[in-house]
Amino acid sequence: MNIQTPVDPTNDLVETAKRVLPGGSFGNMPAEVILKEGKGGRIWDEAGKEYVDFLLGSGPMFVGHAHPEVTAAVQAQVPFGTTFFGNNRHGIALAEAIVDAVPCAEQVRFVCSGTEADLYAMRAARAFRKRDKILKFEGGYHGMSDYALVSLAPKNPGNFPRGSIDSAGIPKSVADEMVVAAFNDIDMVRSLIEEQKDELAGVIVEPFQRLIPPKPGFLQALREVTAEHGIPLIFDEVVTGFRFAYGGAQEYYGVTPDLCTLGKIVGGGFALAAIAGRADIMAHFDRITMADEDFIFQVGTLSGNPVASVAGLATLDVLKQPGTYEKVFATGRTLMGTLQELLNRSGFKAQVIGEPPLFDILFTDQPVKDYRDTLKADTAILKRFNQLLRARGIMKGESKYYVSLAHTQADIDHTIGAWTDALKELKAGR
C-alpha cells in the first residue's frame, strides 16, 4: 500500500497570490500567511499549522471564531435572503441594541466599514457646524479616507498643528482641512481649539489611541473644552466599542462624546459598521427633515444587511452574559503581567502597554504618552520577536495582541511557553 504525503497547497497559493494581487496580499498580512479555519481562540493555515490567535481578524472575533450562537443565527437567516437594500427587522433591532448600550447613541446610521463610519462622522460634524476643519491626533487611526491619512504614521513628524500626508494619491490640499495635535497633551489641544474654534467642525479621537491609554483626566478635559465651544467630539470606537466594556471606551473611561463610530465587534465578523450619536447631529442624514444644503447624502448597498445584523445581535447577546468582561480582562491581565515579567528577566529594555483586552510590547524603556514616543522603540526587535512567535504557533499582527472571550487556559499556557522560548532565541541572537 502506497501512502502519499499530503501536498502542501501553500506554495501554489502564494505564487498565485503574487501574480494576481499587488504585493501578493490583501494589504493586511504577508503573502505567505494564508489562513483556512478558525475555531474559538485558534486558527489554522492552509498547511494545517495551528496557532493561538491574537489577530482575531484584526479584532472582530472578540467572542471567538465560529461561535455556535453567532453561527446558528447566520445560518438561520441565510435561507431568507442575504441583503435587501431596504430596512429589515434585524438591522432595526441592532440599531436599538446599540442605542441601549452606548452612552452617546441616540440614533444610528449603518455603513460597511470603519473607514466609512469615520468619514461620515467627520462629514456629519461639518454639516452640523457648517465649518470645514477637523482636529485629529498624530498617530490616530481613523480608516483609509484621504482625511484620515493625514499624520497617521509620519516617519518625520512635522510641526504641530500642520499635518503630513501619509499616502500617495491624496491631494495636498487635504492637509489644509486637518488640524493635528499630540495625544495626551491637553494644553496643546486647548490652545489649538481656542485659536481655531471659529474654523473647527469637530474633534476626532481614539479614546485609546492604538496602544496608548489616555492620561488620567485627558478625555475629561477634552470633553470640557469641546463642549465649551459647541464643537462636536467624535470618539472613534471602531476598535474599543463593545471591547473595553459593553458600552465601549466611553463607558470604560466615563466620558460621553457627541458622536462615535463602531465596527469590528458590532458586525460579528461581517462587514458592518456604524455612526451613532446625538439625534440633532444624526438628523443631517434625514432627507425629509433637512434642507438640501444641510442634508448628508449617504447610501450603501450592503449597509445594515440582515446577515451582518443577526451576527452582530448574536455577538452582543453573548457579551451581555454575566462574567464576560471579567473573563476577558482576567485573561489579558495574566498575559500582560507575565509578558512584562519575562521581558524583565530577559534583560530587554521593553514595556507592555495597553489595556487587558488589547496590548503589545514596545522595545523601549522610555515613557510612552503619544505617537512620537512610540518612535523611540526598536521596531526591528519587535518584528523579529513576532516572527519567532509565529514559528511557535502564535498569530498576531505587526502590533497588538487582541484578547478574546474564547481564549482558554491552554491558550495562555501555550503563549507563555512560546514567549519564553522566543525570548531566549532573541537574546541569543543579539
Model pLDDT for residues 96-117, shown as the tens digit of each residue: 999 999 999 999 999 999 999 9
pLDDT at residue 156 greater than cutoff 90? no
Shared domain for 88 and 211, answered yes or no, is yes
pLDDT tens digits for range 181-202: 999 999 999 999 999 999 999 9
What is the rounded average pLDDT of the residues 70-78? 98
Question: What is the rounded CA–CA span in Å between residue 33 and residue 115?
Answer: 24
Q: Any catalytic annotation for residue 317?
A: no
- Cell numbers found for residue 214: 489616555
Which residue among 289, 319, 349 closes a domain? Answer: 319
Residues with Cβ within 8 Å of 41's Cβ and at least 6 positions away in sequence, in order, are 52, 53, 64, 65, 404, 406, 407, 408, 411
pLDDT at residue 143 greater than cutoff 60? yes
What Rg do the C-alpha atoms of the chain give, in angstroms?
22
Higher pLDDT residue, 4 or 70?
A: 70
Question: What is the rounded CA–CA span in Å between residue 140 and residue 226?
Answer: 18
Shared domain for 157 and 281, answered yes or no, is yes
Q: pLDDT category, 5, cuts 50, 70, 90?
A: very low
Shared domain for 398 and 283, answered yes or no, is no
Q: How far is CA 190 from CA 67, 182, 370, in A?
A: 45, 11, 16
Half-sphere exposure of 218 (CA within 13 A, CB side): 20
Shared domain for 42 and 75, answered yes or no, is no
Question: What is the rounded CA–CA span in Å between residue 97 and residue 128?
Answer: 25
Domain of 409?
A: 34-66+324-428
Residue at 42 is within a domain: yes
Number of domain units in the chain: 2
Q: How far is CA 426 from CA 379, 386, 423, in A?
A: 13, 10, 5
Residue-level pLDDT at 288: 95
Question: CA-CA-CA-CA torsion for 162, 164, 170, 174, nearest 10 degrees?
Answer: -10
Shared domain for 304 and 406, answered yes or no, is no
Residue-level pLDDT at 126: 98
Shared domain for 278 and 372, answered yes or no, is no
Single out the catalytic residue among 141, 147, 325, 401.
141
Q: Any catalytic annotation for residue 49?
A: no
Residue-level pLDDT at 383: 96
Residue-level pLDDT at 148: 97
Which CATH number goes with the domain that contains 376? 3.90.1150.10
Residue at 290 is within a domain: yes
Shared domain for 296 and 171, answered yes or no, is yes
- Cell numbers found for residue 13: 497559493
Sheet holding 35-39, edge to edge: 35-39, 42-45, 50-53, 394-395
pLDDT tens digits for range 358-379: 999 999 999 999 999 999 999 9
Shared domain for 208 and 313, answered yes or no, is yes
Question: What is the rounded CA–CA span in Å between residue 140 and residue 67?
Answer: 31
Residue at 58 is within a domain: yes
Residue at 4 is within a domain: no
Residue-level pLDDT at 29: 87
Residue at 3 is within a domain: no
Q: Any catalytic annotation for residue 246?
A: no
Shared domain for 272 and 342, answered yes or no, is no
Which residue among 319, 341, 367 closes a domain? Answer: 319
pLDDT at residue 6 greater than cutoff 50? no
Shared domain for 380 and 407, answered yes or no, is yes
The percent of residues above 90 in pLDDT, for the chain, comes to 93
Residue at 311 is within a domain: yes
Single out the catalytic residue among 236, 258, 360, 411.
236
Question: What is the rounded CA–CA span in Å between residue 54 and residue 57?
Answer: 9
Which CATH number goes with the domain that contains 311? 3.40.640.10
Shared domain for 57 and 81, answered yes or no, is no
pLDDT at residue 310 greater than cutoff 80? yes
Residue at 91 is within a domain: yes
Residue at 28 is within a domain: no
Give the range among 26-30, 197-201, 281-285, 361-365 with minimum mean pLDDT: 26-30
Three-state SS at 51: strand
Single out the catalytic residue among 133, 136, 264, 369.
264
Shared domain for 375 and 345, answered yes or no, is yes
What is the rounded average pLDDT of the residues 1-21? 73
Residue-level pLDDT at 8: 63
Q: pLDDT category, 11, cuts 50, 70, 90?
A: confident
Residue-level pLDDT at 2: 46
Sheet holding 133-137, edge to edge: 107-111, 273-277, 259-262, 233-237, 200-205, 133-137, 178-181
Which residue among 319, 336, 364 closes a domain? Answer: 319
Q: What's the pTM?
A: 0.95
What is the rounded average pLDDT of the residues 257-283? 98
